[in-house]
A and B are shown apart, each in its own frame.
Chain A
Amino acid sequence: MASTAFERGRRRSPAATIAIYLGVLVFAVWILLPVWYLVVSSLITPSQLGIKPFPLVPASVTLDNYIAVLFGNTGGKGIGSTDMGTRLVPAIGQSLLVSSILVVLNLFIAGAAAYGLSRYPFRGARAFELSVIATRIVPAIAIIGPFFVAFRVIGVLNTPWALVISYNVFTLPLAIMILKNYFDQLPREIEEAAKIDGATRLQTLWIIIVPIARPGLVAAGVLIFLEAWSEFFYALVLTNQLTVPPLLAGFQSVQQFNWNALAAATVMSMLPPTVLVLIFQRHVVGALTAGVGK
C-alpha cells in the first residue's frame, strides 16, 4: 500500500476539486441540453411548444407525438395525401434490414480479409491494406454519380439493395481495419498448436479463431450497424426516403408536420444506435482505439 505521505501528495487541493466539478457541470450541460430539448419537445403539445421561453421543465407531458408517428396520425400529408406518420415504422424496418444484412455480409467478407492480411500476408498485402485505409479519405459524395447511373440501369434504385451494395464503400474498409487490428493482437500460438494437431487452415479459422475473436467481431458488427443506420446521403439520392434518415429529412420539408412529431421520430431514430453502443461500450471503444497512433 502507498504511504500516507504519498497519498497526501496525490490529494487534490479544494480549488482543484471545485474546478473539476464545475467542469463536469459544463460538460453535462453541453451534452445533455440539446438532448433534453429534443426529448422534452417530443413529450409536449404544439401549444406548449409555443410558450416563450421554451418550457425546459414542462408542466405536463404526453405520449401523443409518439402515438402519432407510430400509427400515422400526424396530420402531415405526403404525396398522395397519405399521412407521413405511416411511413416511419416501415422505414425503421428497412433501416434494420439494410443494416443487418450489411453486418452479416461484412463480418464474413471483412473477417476473412482481415485474418488473411494478419496471418497469411501475400505479395501486395501491405499495399492493399494501405489502400483500404486511404479509402476513408475518398469522399462518398464524390463517387455517388456512377452509383446513381449504374443503379438506374440495373433497376435497383429505390430498393434496399441499392444501399446494401453502396454502403460497402465505407463499411467494408472500416470492418477490415478494425478486424485486422484485432487479429494482430491475438496470440499466434493457438494457431500453431492447431496446425500441429493436424487442423487445416480453414478449420483453424472457423473452429478456433472465430470463437476467440468474438469480442472483435461484436465491436466491428456494432460499428458497421452504426454506419449503415446513420447513413443519409446515399439513402437520400439512391432511394425515395426508404430508410429513417432521409425520411426524417423529408418530414422537415412537409409544412404541416410539426416539430413535436418530428422530435418523437428523431428520438426513436436515436434509440437503436445509442442503446447498442452503450451496451457494447467497452468492446466498441476498445476496437475504435486499438489501431490509433500506429
Chain B
Amino acid sequence: MAGAADLLGPKADRAFGLKLVAPAMIILIVLLALPTLLTLVYSLHDVPASGSSFGPFVGLENFTIIFSSPVFWRSAQVTLTFAVGFVILSTVIGLAMAMLLNQRFIGRGLARALLIIPWATPWLVIGILWKWFADGSVGGLNAVLMMLGLSSDYHPFLSDPNTALPITVIAAVWRQASFAGILLLAGLQTLPEELNEAAQLDGANWWQRFTNITLPWLRPVLITVTVFNVIYAFLQFDVVFAMTQGGPGDTTQVLSVLIYRQLFINTNIGLGSALAVILGVVALIGGLTIVRLFYRRELH
C-alpha cells in the first residue's frame, strides 16, 4: 500500500485522509443516510403492514391525518411537558451538584465517583428501578415518605394520572442530571481560582460571584449540556416504556412511545414514519433554538 507515493505533497496527504475516512463514511451513508431517506419516503406512502413495498404514494396525507388527530396533539403536549421539566431539572440539578462537588470537603473523591453511577446506568434500568421505587405496594419512595411522616399510606404514583408524568420526569432526570453534573464539574475545574479570590477581595458576595464569574465561565459547557438535554428529552423512550408504557390512559404517552405503537403494534409504517419525521424535526428545532437563545443573550 505505502510506497514512494507516500512521500508526495498535500495531494497524496488528502488522498490518504480520504482513504482513512472512507470506511466510516460508507457505513454511515448506508446505515444512517439511507434509512433517514427511506423514512422520509415511507412517510409519504401508505406502506403495507408487511413493509415489503412502499405501497401507494399518498403525498402529505399521513401528516394531515396526524395533525388532525387529537391523539397526536395530546401526545405532543405530554412530550413538551416532559421535555420542559426534564431539561430544566437536569440542568439545574446538574449545575447544583457540580458546584457542590467543586467545594473542598471530606469524601469528595467518593462523592465524585457516586456522581458517575446514574450516568453509567442504562436508561432502561433506570426506568425499571424507578418504576419499582415509586411502586404503590412495595416501593421505597412510599416507605421514605411514610417514615418521614409526609404520608400516612402508600400512594400508587404511577397509576395516578396526576403523578405518573412527574415521576417519569424525575426518574429520567436522575440520570441526566449526573451527565450534566460531570460535564459542568469539569468546566468548573478549569475556572482559575484567582478570579473568585479577586472578586471576594472586592467584596463580591456569593450570588454576585455566581452570576458574574461562574455562569459566564460555564456558558459554553452549559450550551452543550442543554442541547444534549433537549435532544434526550424529545427522544426519551426507555424510561417511559419501562415505567408506564404511556399510561395510565395517555398521560405519559410521549411521541416516541406513540411512534413505537404505530410502527410495531398497529403496524402502520407510513403513519409511524411520518410521526418519526415530525419528532426528528422537533428535536432538531429544539436543539437549535437553545443554541440561538444562548448566543443571542450573549450579544446583549
Using Cβ atoms and an 8 Å threshold, which residues of chain A touch B84? none
Q: Is A146 an interface residue (CB 8 A)?
A: yes
Stretch from A86-94, A161-169, A213-221 that touches the partner: A161-169
Q: B283 and A143: CB pair below 8 A?
A: no
Which residue from A135, A172, A292 sits with its C-beta under 8 Å from B186? Answer: A292
Q: B259 and A141: CB pair below 8 A?
A: yes
Q: B235 and A248: CB pair below 8 A?
A: no
Using Cβ atoms and an 8 Å threshold, which residues of chain A touch B273? 142, 145
Q: Is B215 an interface residue (CB 8 A)?
A: no
Q: B242 and A52: CB pair below 8 A?
A: no
Q: B140 and A28: CB pair below 8 A?
A: no
Closest-CB distance, B68 to chain A (whole angstroms)? 22
Of chain A, the residue at the smallest CB distance from B239 is A232
CA distance A148 to B19 in the complex (A): 31
Of chain B, the residue at the smallest CB distance from A176 is B24
CA distance A240 to B18 in the complex (A): 39
Interface string of B200-239 (1 = CB under 8 A from A): 1100000000000000000011011100000100110110
Closest-CB distance, A96 to chain B (whole angstroms)? 14
Q: Give the total of A residues in contact with B, Cβ under 8 Å.
A: 98
If A56-B143, A281-B116, A292-B186 touch, whether A169 touches B32 (CB-CB below 8 Å) is: yes
Which residue from B39, B187, B276 sits with its C-beta under 8 Å from A293? Answer: B187
Using Cβ atoms and an 8 Å threshold, which residues of chain A touch B14? 120-123
Q: Is A156 an interface residue (CB 8 A)?
A: no
Using Cβ atoms and an 8 Å threshold, which residues of chain A touch B70? none
Using Cβ atoms and an 8 Å threshold, which residues of chain B touch A252? 128, 131, 242
Q: A263 and B2: CB pair below 8 A?
A: no
Q: A249 and B105: CB pair below 8 A?
A: no
Interface string of B80-107 (1 = CB under 8 A from A): 0000000000000000110011010101
Using Cβ atoms and an 8 Å threshold, which residues of chain B touch A229? 122
Of chain B, the residue at the smallest CB distance from A38 is B129
Which of B13, B14, B35, B183: most chain A Cβ within 10 A?
A: B35
Which residue from A119, A166, A226, A266 sits with its C-beta under 8 Å from B129? Answer: A266
Closest-CB distance, A237 to chain B (whole angstroms)? 6
The A interface, classified by DSSP as helix, strand, loop or mixed, is helix
Closest-CB distance, A260 to chain B (whole angstroms)? 9
CA distance A231 to B125 in the complex (A): 10
If A34-B140, A141-B279, A145-B39 touch, whether A128 touches B25 (CB-CB below 8 Å) is: yes
Q: B142 and A53: CB pair below 8 A?
A: yes
Which residue from B25, B119, B235, B238 sits with its C-beta under 8 Å from A232? Answer: B238
A114-142 contacts to B, CB under 8 A, are 115-117, 119-123, 125, 128, 131-132, 135-142
Q: Is B20 an interface residue (CB 8 A)?
A: yes
Q: Is A255 an interface residue (CB 8 A)?
A: no
If A37-B133, A201-B2, A203-B2 touch, whether A31 touches B118 (CB-CB below 8 Å) is: yes
Closest-CB distance, B201 to chain A (whole angstroms)? 7
Which residue from B24, B133, B234, B259 sits with its C-beta under 8 Å from A109? Answer: B24
Q: A145 and B269: CB pair below 8 A?
A: yes
Which residue from A119, A121, A278, A294 sits with its C-beta under 8 Å from B113? Answer: A278
Interface string of B25-46 (1 = CB under 8 A from A): 1011001101110110010000
Q: A249 and B241: CB pair below 8 A?
A: yes
Which residue from A30, A34, A122, A168 sits with its C-beta under 8 Å from B15? Answer: A122
Q: B31 and A141: CB pair below 8 A?
A: no
CA distance A109 to B25 in the complex (A): 10
Q: B197 and A37: CB pair below 8 A?
A: no
B222-273 contacts to A, CB under 8 A, are 223-225, 231, 234-235, 237-238, 241-242, 256, 259-260, 263-264, 269, 272-273
Q: Is B174 an interface residue (CB 8 A)?
A: yes
Q: B276 and A113: CB pair below 8 A?
A: no
CA distance A123 to B224 in the complex (A): 27
CA distance A68 to B161 in the complex (A): 35
Of chain A, the residue at the smallest CB distance from B36 is A143
Using Cβ atoms and an 8 Å threshold, which residues of chain A touch B131? 252
Using Cβ atoms and an 8 Å threshold, which residues of chain A touch B118? 31
CA distance A121 to B21 in the complex (A): 10
Q: A31 and B114: CB pair below 8 A?
A: yes
Which residue from B3, B38, B133, B183 sits with its C-beta under 8 Å from A34? Answer: B133
Using Cβ atoms and an 8 Å threshold, which residues of chain A touch B223? 293
Using Cβ atoms and an 8 Å threshold, which residues of chain A touch B129? 34-35, 37-38, 266
Q: A24 and B100: CB pair below 8 A?
A: yes
Q: B24 and A172: CB pair below 8 A?
A: yes
CA distance A28 to B20 in the complex (A): 46
CA distance A230 to B39 in the complex (A): 25
A136-185 contacts to B, CB under 8 A, are 136-149, 152-153, 165-166, 168-169, 172-173, 176
The 7 closest A-B pairs by CB, nearest first: A120-B17, A293-B220, A116-B20, A200-B2, A230-B122, A37-B140, A142-B276
Residue contacts A-B, CB under 8 angstroms, 30 given: A23-B100, A24-B107, A40-B140, A41-B140, A54-B140, A112-B20, A112-B23, A120-B17, A120-B18, A125-B17, A135-B28, A139-B280, A141-B256, A142-B36, A142-B39, A145-B42, A145-B263, A145-B269, A176-B24, A200-B3, A232-B124, A245-B125, A248-B128, A252-B128, A259-B138, A262-B128, A266-B125, A266-B129, A292-B187, A293-B223
Having A23-B96, A168-B31, A292-B186, one finds 4 other A-B pairs with CB under 8 Å, namely A141-B259, A165-B31, A201-B6, A292-B224
